[in-house]
Amino acid sequence: DGGITQSPKYLFRKEGQNVTLSCEQNLNHDAMYWYRQDPGQGLRLIYYSQIVNDFQKGDIAEGYSVSREKKESFPLTVTSAQKNPTAFYLCASSIKVRGNEAFFGQGTRLTVV
Amino acid sequence: QQPVQSPQAVILREGEDAVINCSSSKALYSVHWYRQKHGEAPVFLMILLKGGEQKGHDKISASFNEKKQQSSLYLTASQLSYSGTYFCGTEVFAGGGADGLTFGKGTHLIIQP
């Protein structure tokens, strides 16, 4: 079955540690996205990638980093510079960046203590 | 920049109609509509690409006014299964590139029997 997989579903980290969230898709999509979801804030775009080895900052990129070395994978690192990292993180992909349906993963809930 | 959605929340009786609005300050290339149920990933409803275009399936439809950068989602004869949070996502015209799919803060829809 084709789809987009995020792992793990729940993640706990101590304050000051970097943590990497995994996102893998087997849909052969060029575009991939990372969103952060907080209560009352909707989905806020962190980073997106149009193609392998290319990515752009979204609205709230500070404190986050990404890589896109393979078409299937778009991992997100939450660094210690991110002041409020506790949130629900959603990864999505689409065939291309413009004008195409986005498919979402089931999300990772990150809690930093 | 996030599009603006209104209202923030709607409570309806089963069978009533609802309208959710989405507006942007930028010229829009496309408008997407998604529904998210609690604890789940957002699910695609429809995408609108042309000015004045209206799309729909079953009893959910949407319009896109390109001149005003506005879109509205229409839910007719609402069913209990329509409950959830509705998000509009927008893609803007950008010089030589894409700005990514940006979402509003969402509209909570509660359908009561």
Residue type, position A89, single letter: Y
pLDDT, one tens digit per residue, over A46-85 is 999 999 999 999 999 999 999 999 999 999 999 998 999 9
What's the pLDDT at B59?
Answer: 84
CB neighbours of residue B76 within 10 Å: 16
Which strands form A19-25's sheet, in the order they lie side by side?
A4-7, A19-25, A76-78, A64-66
pLDDT tens digit at each of 113 positions of chain B:
789 999 999 999 999 999 999 999 988 889 999 999 998 999 999 999 865 566 666 789 999 988 899 999 999 999 999 999 999 999 987 665 557 899 999 999 999 99
From chain A, pick out residues whose CB is under 8 angstroms from the CB of B38. none
From chain A, pick out residues whose CB is under 8 angstroms from the CB of B94. none
What's the pLDDT at B66?
Answer: 85
What's the pLDDT at B71?
Answer: 94
Tell me how many degrees the CA angle A4-B106-A7 measures, rounded to the nearest 5: 25
From chain B, pick out residues whose CB is under 8 angstroms from the CB of A101. 32, 44, 47
Q: How far apart are CA A67 and CA A49, in angstroms?
A: 9
Considering only the beta carbons, identify the residue of B1, B101, B106 that sits closest to A42. Answer: B106
Enumerate the β-bridge partners of residue A37. Answer: A43, A88
**Residue A109: which H helix or E strand, with range?**
strand A108-112
Give the DSSP letter string of A41-107.
TEEEEEEEEEETTEEEE-TT-TTEEE--SBTTB--EEE-TT-S---EEEEEEEESSSSS---EE---
A4, A43, A44, A60: best to mutate for the B interface, most B CBs within 10 A:
A43
What's the pLDDT at B97?
Answer: 54
What's the pLDDT at B12?
Answer: 95
What's the pLDDT at B53?
Answer: 62
